[in-house]
Amino acid sequence: EAQVTQNPRYLITVTGKKLTVTCSQNMNHEYMSWYRQDPGLGLRQIYYSMNVEVTDKGDVPEGYKVSRKEKRNFPLILESPSPNQTSLYFCASSSLGVAYNEQFFGPGTRLTVL
Amino acid sequence: AQTVTQSQPEMSVQEAETVTLSCTYDTSESDYYLFWYKQPPSRQMILVIRQEAYKQQNATENRFSVNFQKAAKSFSLKISDSQLGDAAMYFCCVGSGTYKYIFGTGTRLKVLA
A6 band by pLDDT with thresholds 50, 70 and 90: very high
Nearest in space to B8 (alpha carbons), one of B93, B76, B80, B95: B76
DSSP category for residue A80: S
* pLDDT tens digits for range A46-99: 999 999 999 999 999 999 999 999 999 999 999 999 999 999 999 999 988 767
Report d(CA A97, CA B2) in Å as an integer. Answer: 22
Angle, CA A90 vertex, CA A89 and CA A91 arms, to 5° = 130
A2 touches chain B (CB under 8 A): no
Cβ(A74)–Cβ(A98) under 8 Å? no
Four-CA torsion B102, B106, B89, B13, nearest 10 degrees: -140
In the predicted model, what is the mean pLDDT of residues A39-43?
94
* pLDDT tens digits for range A98-110: 677 889 999 999 9
A67 touches chain B (CB under 8 A): no
pLDDT at B1 exceeding the cut of 90: no
Q: Which of B32, B50, B100 sits opposite A58 (nearest CB)?
A: B100
Query: How much is the pLDDT for B69?
Result: 94
Query: How much is the pLDDT for A4?
Result: 97
Mapping DSSP to helix (H, G, I), strand (E, B) and coil, where does residue B57 land? coil
* pLDDT tens digits for range B56-109: 889 999 999 999 999 999 999 999 999 999 999 999 999 987 788 999 999 999
Nearest in space to A23 (alpha carbons), one of A68, A74, A62: A74
